[in-house]
Structure 1
Amino acid sequence: MNQIMDKEQIKQQILSAFQFRHACKQFDPAKKISDDDFQFILETGHMSPSSFGLEPWKFVVVQNKDLRAKLAPASWGATEKLKTASHFVLILSRLQFGLSAHSAHVQHMINDVQKCPEDVATMMTSAIDNFQKVDFDLTSNERVFFEWGCRQSYIALGNMMTAAAEIGIDSCPMEGFNKEQVEKVLLDEGIIKGNDFGIACMVAFGYRAKDPRPKVRQPIEDVVEWKN
């Protein structure tokens, strides 16, 4: 009975976090997230799943006010968040140069992080290469290849926002920016090198300045189809 109750309580807690979470438009600049709480949020991104376990992402936490100001002109959807959010994160995704099967990063992940035996490493490299060239036809278009990494980065984004909501912290994901202009700022700052990462999205974290309007969604029957 206790186990059943615990499970129901956990389910309700998770659903309550989803009800709490919204794309926060106004943050209270006087309220700051503790270091411990933000490390927890980052760890949920760090522990997120990725295709072949290649972790194509990088999380750049922008606390420097001067850098935030440089990003603002190219980030029309983030102007106010850059001024008021407690923490502001750029989620980067690897480009084809750094995510193809034989790249230094992929080989590092297979051999040094996942510690695959030599025969398994060879098999993994071949499987990834075939997937990228044949199954998903990624290698014929660099932008499509980049977007493959971005899709995985969004898994980490979702996990971080949900984790934040679980502990009462607000967030707002953003694509409201000019990709080329933002990447120019990141190049100038030495954050990206030109052939390693591109900007996938941005996300702000903090505490809401005012309560949001009630959450609305389509009926679940309109978005779920069963084929038994």
Structure 2
Amino acid sequence: MKKKDILEAYRWRQATKEFDADRKIKEDDMEFILETGRLSPSSFGFEPWQFVVVRREDLLQKIKDHAWGAQGQALTASHFVLILARTPKAMRYDADYIRNIVTSVQGRTEEEYAQRVKRVQEFQENDYRLLDDERVFQEWIKRQTYIPLGNMMTAAAQIEIDSCPIEGFNQEEIDELLISEGVMERGEWSLSVMVAFGYRSRDFAPKTRRDFNEVVKYIG
């Protein structure tokens, strides 16, 4: 039954462009959704994200003004979440944040930290060549944030809460707005993606997707 219920939630979920502004998500349901994001996996377990739940209506209006993709969602969603990504400055193999994650959060010894950071250095310098291009490095970090994004939207669908991921914004403009509003510190964070949660204001047509056998390929 669990598999059937999970698949049904995936079929039910669709990107909700406008929500019923009169319906609000219960706080324990929203905390459940955010907790699935917090528990999500990330490369090396470095958790390069922060989830900012925006409640201020004046800030939601400014976000709407600067994000063409949030026109129907920013002011109608029950909860509007900004998913911030750390910058390359914080995610370099030798950064203080990495040391803190490995030693304080993950509980590794100094010897284990030295081994881990050596492997991370090799990954960043040689495997993905992230240190060659700051933009490539930033995009790699932002890709990590889409893991909790997907998990939160799926968790929401399983308790019949709608969602919509939002990428429709000018990166420089929205970052400047969030810095000026005190949401994040310059050089430490960048907005990766936004996601709105709430309840749909209308029914959707059935979801369409390519056939399973067209999407999935088996080798051997």
For the aligned residue pairs, the C-alpha RMSD in angstroms reads 0.7
CA-to-partner distance for each residue in 1:120-143, whole Å, 9 max, x for gaps? Answer: 110011111110111011111111
Equivalent residue for 1:126?
Answer: 118
Equivalent residue for 2:86?
Answer: 94
Equivalent residue for 1:200?
Answer: 192
Equivalent residue for 1:5?
Answer: none
What's the secondary structure of 2:21's corresponding residue? coil
Q: Is residue 176 of structure 2 the alignment partner of residue 158 of structure 1?
A: no
What's the secondary structure of 1:60's corresponding residue? strand
Alpha-carbon distance in structure 2 between the residues aligned to 1:181 and 1:74: 7
What's the secondary structure of 2:130's corresponding residue? coil
| Structure 2, unaligned runs of 5 or more | none
Equivalent residue for 1:137?
Answer: 129
Q: 1:214 Cα deviation (Å)?
A: 1.1
CA-to-partner distance for each residue in 1:102-156, whole Å, 9 max, x for gaps? Answer: 1111111001100101111100111111101110111111111111111110000
Q: 1:22 Cα deviation (Å)?
A: 0.5
Q: 1:205 Cα deviation (Å)?
A: 0.1
Q: Is residue 7 of structure 2 the alignment partner of residue 15 of structure 1?
A: yes
Alpha-carbon distance in structure 1 between the residues aligned to 2:82 and 2:69: 13
What's the secondary structure of 1:58's corresponding residue? strand
Alpha-carbon distance in structure 1 between the residues aligned to 2:118 and 2:3: 41
Equivalent residue for 1:43?
Answer: 35
What's the secondary structure of 2:163's corresponding residue? strand
CA-to-partner distance for each residue in 1:163-187, whole Å, 9 max, x for gaps? Answer: 0000010000010111111101111
TM-score (norm 1): 0.95
CA-to-partner distance for each residue in 1:179-206, whole Å, 9 max, x for gaps? Answer: 1111011110122221111111110000
Letter of the 1:30 partner, please give it.
D
| Structure 1, unaligned runs of 5 or more | 1-8
Equivalent residue for 1:178?
Answer: 170
Mapping of residues 19-34 of structure 1, within 5 Å: 19-34=11-26
| Count of aligned residue pairs for this structure pair | 220
Q: Identify the match of residue 149 of structure 1 among 132, 141, 150.
A: 141
Runs of 4+ in 1 over 4 A off after TM superposition: none
Equivalent residue for 1:74?
Answer: 66
TM-score (norm 2): 0.98
What's the secondary structure of 2:151's corresponding residue? helix
CA-to-partner distance for each residue in 1:4-58, whole Å, 9 max, x for gaps? Answer: xxxxx00001001101110011200000001000000000000000000000011
